């Protein structure tokens, strides 16, 4: 091929000028937008929680103790992040090896599962063919088990269960919304107030009832959650469960279990409180978490630090 | 010259293979880039938006200059160089989050984004050039149609197979890393394909081979900026900026919006596959008769549809509960997401080809290529701004966890993702209104230039 009469320097110079002009412009824009956004940095623990990097969580807290209760833009703490998951197929939260069956999946999801996901799972050997010494398969923990481990770790390192976010949600309310009974249990043990109300005057029990998280509802009732509270719209936990049961017929059985638990006679069986975190350990159960406990609005709960 | 399948030579198919395999990676990476930057690298939503803005800025900046460089070093070397850059950057992105952390990781990923942008700009440019080189006047039209079809098939598969497949099987966080590692493998395959290209099989060489002086973008700009046709074009480009930025929202804002108003396991890739599907089928169906309509009218219709599509997302979710079959907020959000994609895709398929056509029609006959190249200039300015705006809006109105607050009535409209889309809608709808208002200015000379414009269109 014949050589072209090309001025390399001019091309590179133009590229460089454009690059510098672009970057200079971007920096000016950044300065302007930084003023709008403010200087709120997420806790490094949040990324580690999302990445399920439990080992690094301890290391990071040990380096800087303040990270454990550091709040983000929405005033959420790492403990709240650990208590939150949002899966459409909720069976994935409790499924081992990340594999959940979903009988209610729509035809497209079923098609994708057969044609794409299952072959890929086999190809990548995700189910884990690793064997234990006794010859059985090694099981990967479920998402809930991982979150429970992180919750314990954060609590051991001084995570405060009483902090609320900008909407008055505690870590317990986040766990109640998500539907992780073991995490809820752990937070209650650590001294979470089951009757804190958010800015809409909703308790963890109401939110769990609305989501049809029957096991969480049972734990909260046993821990002394008040079933008589009404939210800002005048709806109680049972009203919410009834309303949402019509919206989510596929979760009818869960909502029915919620309503049954809400109607059952009061059986205060508070979850055992952890000795380090609960000053109520020597009090009688009813006193520690009385069913008729007065509701504490979020504003009275521990303010953002 | 030896022909193979479909009347094209081996090199044509190798170029298409590169485009297909790279498309599998590029389109899946683009879908998950914002999540990768937040979840795997630890950037806040705001920073992730900004870095995405930088990435697209780099691509636009490189596109101005790499064309000249590719012309000089030749098709094969350009392909090899571009695929090496892509291999390095994608492998780094797949592996670095497991090896480093904190600021070191964040700046390393920033550097890799820079390299990936250079590789992407180079590959896009050289693919278009090589397709021209490895086709002739008789089969070029068919060749470019095939290329467009193959690219869209790649985009579709990247969505529901690559993106959804890895994220479903490995989980959202590890899935993101696997998508980058997969991208590395695809780039390696592209490298092998590039290695097999024989430049002696060119069907048509550049007209300026041997003597032509390669013009740099700033030199072209200096030549044309005083021309009234160019000033008219700049006005048109600025007027349409609002709606053209909506196109970048599909990659910058939508993925996080989908995951946060729906679920972490939402079929992100599958919904992204709808767009190329509709565009491909729609173009095939409308190709024969759409040319009969006035360009500016079609531009206005396309822009209006694209802007209006955002209204689905801008109205409160509860409003859609009135639609039969929509019983809860999950179904309402699914409905608005699909509706937006469908209407937006129709708008895009009307607007995008007409946009290129308009640029070609206003350009003097001998400067079509220059005008086309410079038409990307306003995006060069708009992309970083859009990155910051998207980051800011996502961080404040569409943060992770917003679904919980929407469901429980803790979010007012002004704090909701719907308000974010209302802002975008307001920005986008300015474009068709402004084009209608200034239609006379934009089309003033077109009647006189109709004949040359027709020729220019054909050339473009």
Q: Could you give the CA distance from residue B72 to residue A90 in angstroms, rounded to a whole number?
A: 56
> Best residue in B157, B265, B323, B370 to probe A by mutation, most A CBs within 10 Å?
B265
Interface contact flag, B46 A37, Cβ < 8 Å = yes
Interface contact flag, B405 A167, Cβ < 8 Å = yes
Interface contact flag, A124 B217, Cβ < 8 Å = no
Pairing of strands A196-197, A296-297: parallel
Q: Are A207 and A69 part of one and the same domain?
A: yes
Closest Cα partner for B72 from A210, A57, A10, A153?
A10
Interface contact flag, A47 B42, Cβ < 8 Å = yes
Interface contact flag, A247 B270, Cβ < 8 Å = no
Q: Is the ipTM of this complex over 0.90?
A: no
Q: Are B266 and B154 part of one and the same domain?
A: no
Q: Could you give the CA distance from residue B156 to residue B177 in angstroms, rounded to a whole number?
A: 20
CA distance A166 to chain B (A): 10
CATH of the domain at A254: 1.25.40.20
Is A43's pLDDT higher than 70? yes
Q: Are A157 and A267 part of one and the same domain?
A: yes
Q: Could you give the CA distance from residue B12 to residue A296 in angstroms, rounded to a whole number?
A: 72
Interface contact flag, B164 A87, Cβ < 8 Å = no
For residue B240, how many C-alpha atoms fall within 13 Å in the half-sphere facing its CB?
Answer: 29
Q: Are B227 and B162 part of one and the same domain?
A: no
Q: Are B304 and B241 part of one and the same domain?
A: yes
Task: Among B178, B202, B226, identify where a domain stops.
Answer: B202
Characterize B57-87 residue by residue with b for buried, 16 or more Cβ atoms within 10 angstroms of its Cβ, and e for exposed: bbbbbbbbbbbbbbbeebbbebbbbbbbbbb
With contacts defined as CB-CB under 8 Å, which chain A residues touch B210? 2-4
- DSSP class of residue A137 equals B
Q: Are B143 and B274 part of one and the same domain?
A: no
Interface contact flag, B401 A248, Cβ < 8 Å = no
> Domain of A186?
45-95+142-300
Task: Among A105, A125, A141, identify where a domain stops.
Answer: A141
- Rg for chain B, CA atoms, rounded: 22
What are A164-206's pLDDT values in tens digits? 999 999 999 999 999 999 999 999 999 999 999 999 999 999 9
Is B460's pLDDT higher than 50? no
Q: Are B163 and B258 part of one and the same domain?
A: no
Instruction: For residue A197, give the H/E element and its range.
Output: strand A196-197
DSSP codes joined into one string, B376-416: THHHHHHHHHHHHHHHHHHHHHS-TTHHHHHHTT---GGGS
Which has the higher per-residue pLDDT, A65 or B203?
A65
The confidence score (pLDDT) of residue A161 equals: 96
Q: Are B162 and B255 part of one and the same domain?
A: no
How many degrees, rounded to 5, is the angle at CA B121 between CA B119 and CA B123? 65
- Estimate the share of chain B in helix, then strand, then coil, as percent rounded to the nearest 5: 80, 0, 20
Contact B73, B81 (CB under 8 A): yes
The confidence score (pLDDT) of residue A7 equals: 64
Interface contact flag, B396 A73, Cβ < 8 Å = yes
Count helices and strands in chain A by DSSP H and E runs: 15, 2
Q: Are B39 and B168 part of one and the same domain?
A: yes
A23 found inside a domain = no
Q: Could you give the CA distance from residue B434 to residue B430 in angstroms, rounded to a whole number?
A: 6
Q: Any idea which residue has 């910051």 for tokens?
A: B388
A28 found inside a domain = no
Chain mean position to CA B456: 25
Question: Among residues of chain A, what percentage have pLDDT more than 70?
Answer: 74
Cβ-nearest to B384 among A18, A25, A211: A25
Q: Are B65 and B127 part of one and the same domain?
A: yes
Cβ-nearest to B61 among A5, A6, A22: A22
CA distance B265 to chain A (A): 6
Q: Are B326 and B421 part of one and the same domain?
A: yes
Q: Could you give the CA distance from residue A32 to residue B198 in angstroms, rounded to a whole number?
A: 51
Question: Among residues of chain B, what percentage have pLDDT more than 90?
Answer: 50
The confidence score (pLDDT) of residue B366 equals: 72
> Domain of B284?
215-460
- DSSP class of residue B216 equals P
Contacts across the A-B interface (CB distance below 8 Å): 188
CA distance A99 to chain B (A): 8
Q: Are A113 and A248 part of one and the same domain?
A: no
Interface contact flag, B57 A26, Cβ < 8 Å = yes
Angle between the B377-397 and B417-437 helix axes, to the nearest 10 degrees?
A: 150
Q: Are B183 and B249 part of one and the same domain?
A: no
CA nearest to B174 within chain A = A51
Q: Are A109 and A235 part of one and the same domain?
A: no
Task: Among B202, B237, B253, identify where a domain stops.
Answer: B202
Q: Are A81 and A64 part of one and the same domain?
A: yes
Q: Could you give the CA distance from residue B56 to residue B256 in angstroms, rounded to a whole number?
A: 18
The confidence score (pLDDT) of residue B28 equals: 95
Cβ-nearest to B39 among A11, A19, A51: A51
Q: Could you give the CA distance from residue B52 to residue B117 in angstroms, rounded to a whole number?
A: 11
Q: Are A268 and A127 part of one and the same domain?
A: no
Q: Could you give the CA distance from residue B430 to residue B439 in angstroms, rounded to a whole number?
A: 14
What are B92-119's pLDDT values in tens digits? 999 999 898 888 999 999 999 999 999 9
CA distance A273 to chain B (A): 28
Q: Could you give the CA distance from residue B154 to residue B161 in angstroms, rounded to a whole number?
A: 10
Q: Are A122 and A174 part of one and the same domain?
A: no
Q: Are B93 and B173 part of one and the same domain?
A: yes
Q: Poorest-confidence range of A78-82, A91-95, A240-244, A269-273?
A: A269-273
Interface contact flag, A18 B392, Cβ < 8 Å = no
The confidence score (pLDDT) of residue B135 equals: 87
Establish if A232 touches chain B: CB-CB under 8 angstroms. Answer: yes
CA distance A22 to chain B (A): 7
What are B286-319's pLDDT values in tens digits? 877 777 888 888 999 999 999 999 999 999 999 9
CA nearest to B332 within chain A = A247
Establish if A26 touches chain B: CB-CB under 8 angstroms. Answer: yes
Closest Cα partner for A4 from B205, B80, B198?
B205
Cβ-nearest to B164 among A3, A17, A112: A112
Phi, psi values for residue A137, rounded to 5°: -70, 145
Interface contact flag, B71 A41, Cβ < 8 Å = no
Phi, psi values for residue A297, rounded to 5°: -65, 155
Phi, psi values for residue A205, rounded to 5°: -65, -45
A289 found inside a domain = yes
Characterize B347-370 residue by residue with b for buried, 16 or more Cβ atoms within 10 angstroms of its Cβ, and e for exposed: bbbbbbbbbebbbbbbbbeebbeb
Q: Are A123 and A271 part of one and the same domain?
A: no
With contacts defined as CB-CB under 8 Å, which chain A residues touch B201? none
Q: Are A133 and A153 part of one and the same domain?
A: no
Average pLDDT value for residue range A106-123: 79
B230 found inside a domain = yes
The confidence score (pLDDT) of residue B52 equals: 92
CATH of the domain at B65: 1.20.1250.20
The confidence score (pLDDT) of residue A274 equals: 54
Based on the structure, what is the number of domains in chain B? 2
Which has the higher per-residue pLDDT, A146 or A279?
A146
B371 found inside a domain = yes
With contacts defined as CB-CB under 8 Å, which chain B residues touch A42? 42, 44
CA nearest to A114 within chain B = B165
Q: Are B451 and B408 part of one and the same domain?
A: yes
Is A27's pLDDT higher than 70? yes
Q: Are A122 and A59 part of one and the same domain?
A: no
3-class secondary structure for B308-321?
HHHHHHHCCHHHHH
Task: Among B172, B202, B232, identify where a domain stops.
Answer: B202
A35 found inside a domain = no
Based on the structure, what is the number of domains in chain A? 2
Structure tokens at B68: 């000249």
With contacts defined as CB-CB under 8 Å, which chain A residues touch B39? 47, 50-51
3-class secondary structure for A212-264?
CCHHHHHHHHHCCCCCCCCCCCCCCHHHHHHHHHHHCHHHHHHHHHHHHHHHC
Is B459's pLDDT higher than 60? no
CA distance A223 to chain B (A): 22
A13 found inside a domain = no
- What is the number of residues in chain A? 305
Q: Are A49 and A191 part of one and the same domain?
A: yes
What are A141-170's pLDDT values in tens digits? 899 999 999 999 999 999 999 999 999 999
Closest Cα partner for B50 from A83, A57, A37?
A37
Q: Are A157 and A255 part of one and the same domain?
A: yes
């Amino acid at each position: 091929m014949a050589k072209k009469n090309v001025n390399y320097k001019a091309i590179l110079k133009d590229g460089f000028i454009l690059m510098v002009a672009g970057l200079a412009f971007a920096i000016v824009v950044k300065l302007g937008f930084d003023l709008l956004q403010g200087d709120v940095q997420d806790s490094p623990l949040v990324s580690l929680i999302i990445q399920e990097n439990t080992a690094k969580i301890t290391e990071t807290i040990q380096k800087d103790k303040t990270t454990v209760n550091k709040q983000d833009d929405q005033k959420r703490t790492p403990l709240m992040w650990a208590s939150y998951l949002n899966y459409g197929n909720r069976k994935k939260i409790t499924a081992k090896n990340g594999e959940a069956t979903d009988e209610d999946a729509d035809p497209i999801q079923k098609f994708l599962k057969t044609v794409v996901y299952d072959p890929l799972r086999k190809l990548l050997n995700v189910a884990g063919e690793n064997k234990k010494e006794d010859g059985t398969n090694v099981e990967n923990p479920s998402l809930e088990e991982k979150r429970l481990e992180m919750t314990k770790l954060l609590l051991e390192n001084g995570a405060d269960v009483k902090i609320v976010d900008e909407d008055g949600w505690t870590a317990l309310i986040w766990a109640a919304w998500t539907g992780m009974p073991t995490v809820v249990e752990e937070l209650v043990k650590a001294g979470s107030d089951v009757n804190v109300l958010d800015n809409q005057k909703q308790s963890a029990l109401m939110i769990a009832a609305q989501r049809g998280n029957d096991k969480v509802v049972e734990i909260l009732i046993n821990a002394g959650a008040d079933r008589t509270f009404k939210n800002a719209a005048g709806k109680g936990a049972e009203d919410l469960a009834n309303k949402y049961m019509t919206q989510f017929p596929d979760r009818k059985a869960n909502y029915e279990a919620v309503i049954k638990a809400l109607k059952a006679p009061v059986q205060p069986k508070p979850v055992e409180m952890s000795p380090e975190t609960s000053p109520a350990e020597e009090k009688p159960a009813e006193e520690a978490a009385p069913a008729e406990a007065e509701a504490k609005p979020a504003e009275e709960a521990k303010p953002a630090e | 010259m030896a022909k193979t399948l479909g009347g094209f030579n081996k090199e044509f198919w190798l170029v298409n293979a590169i485009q297909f395999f790279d498309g599998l990676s590029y389109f899946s990476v683009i879908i998950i880039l914002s999540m990768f930057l937040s979840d795997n690298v630890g950037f806040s939503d705001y920073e992730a938006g900004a870095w995405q803005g930088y990435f697209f800025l780099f691509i636009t900046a490189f596109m101005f200059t790499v064309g000249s460089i590719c012309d000089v070093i030749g098709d094969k070397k350009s392909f090899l160089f571009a695929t090496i850059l892509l291999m390095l950057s994608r492998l780094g992105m797949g592996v670095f989050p497991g090896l480093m952390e904190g600021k070191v990781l964040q700046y390393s990923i920033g550097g890799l984004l820079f390299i990936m942008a250079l590789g992407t700009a180079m590959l896009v440019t050289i693919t278009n050039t090589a397709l021209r080189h490895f086709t002739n006047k008789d089969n070029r039209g068919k060749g470019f149609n095939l290329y467009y079809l193959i690219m869209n098939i790649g985009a579709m598969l990247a969505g529901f197979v690559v993106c959804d497949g890895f994220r479903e099987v490995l989980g959202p966080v590890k899935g993101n890393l696997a998508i980058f590692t997969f991208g590395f493998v695809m780039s390696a395959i592209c490298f092998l394909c590039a290695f097999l290209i024989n430049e002696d099989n060119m069907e048509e060489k550049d007209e300026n081979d041997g003597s032509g002086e390669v013009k740099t973008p700033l030199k072209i700009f200096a030549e044309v900026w005083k021309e009234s046709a160019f000033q008219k074009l700049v006005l048109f480009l600025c007027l349409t900026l609002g709606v053209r930025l909506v196109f970048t929202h599909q990659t910058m804002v939508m993925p996080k919006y989908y995951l946060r108003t729906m679920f972490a396991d939402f079929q992100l890739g599958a919904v992204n596959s709808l767009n190329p599907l509709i565009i491909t089928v729609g173009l095939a169906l409308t190709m024969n008769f759409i040319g009969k309509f006035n360009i500016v009218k079609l531009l206005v219709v396309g822009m209006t549809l694209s802007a209006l599509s955002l209204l689905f997302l801008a109205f409160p979710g509860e409003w859609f509960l009135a639609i039969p079959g929509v019983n809860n907020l999950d179904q309402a959000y699914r409905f608005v997401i699909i509706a937006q994609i469908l209407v937006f895709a129709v708008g895009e398929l009307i607007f995008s080809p007409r946009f290129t056509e308009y640029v070609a029609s206003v350009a003097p006959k001998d400067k079509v290529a220059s005008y086309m190249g410079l038409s990307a200039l306003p995006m060069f300015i708009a992309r970083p701004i859009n990155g910051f705006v998207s980051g800011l809006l996502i961080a404040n109105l569409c943060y992770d966890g917003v679904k919980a607050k929407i469901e429980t009535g803790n979010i007012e409209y002004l704090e909701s993702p719907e308000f974010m889309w209302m802002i975008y809608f307001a920005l986008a709808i300015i474009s068709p209104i402004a084009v209608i208002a200034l239609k006379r200015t934009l089309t003033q000379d077109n009647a006189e230039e109709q004949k040359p414009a027709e020729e220019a269109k054909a050339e473009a």
